[in-house]
Amino acid sequence: MMRFRISEAAELLGVSPDTVRRWIDAGRLPADRDEHGHRLIDGAELAAFARAQHEQAEGGETSARNRLRGIVTAVVKDGVMAQVDIQAGPFRIVSLMSREAVDELDLRVGSVATAVIKSTTVVVEKAPSRR
């Protein structure tokens, strides 16, 4: 059975350890204590919580499931095209789009934007064992 420390769960959920502690204290996220009194979260429980958080945050109806909210860190425009960089937590998203779309969305450095990613190819890598 995979179990996660609060700091690991926080990293996976993209929140602070204090937020995870508050969720546990409020009974929103179940956790047990190990022999040293440290709180541990069952992997299946964490996965269910993450799915519920995602479903609650998703807005509108779309087939795209990958939505990363972040801050625009760069906008480079030329005559027809533009490149927009978004920092979403630890992830840098780079989008190439028309200059017209950037202007219509009024995207500029410091704007909050959501990268919606729909892809036919996704590479999945397994994280190295923690032990």
**Given this model, what pLDDT does residue 19 score?**
92
Give the pLDDT confidence of 32-49 residue by residue, as tens digits: 999 999 999 999 999 889
How many residues are listed for the chain in this entry? 131
Angstrom distances, CA of residue 97 to CA of 94, 100, 110: 10, 8, 18
Give the pLDDT confidence of 97-122 residue by residue, as tens digits: 999 999 999 999 998 898 888 777 77
Question: Residue for token digits 């996976």?
Answer: 12
Quick one: CA torsion of 121, 93, 103, 107, rounded to 10 degrees? Answer: 150
Closest CA to 112 of 88, 90, 93: 88
pTM: 0.55
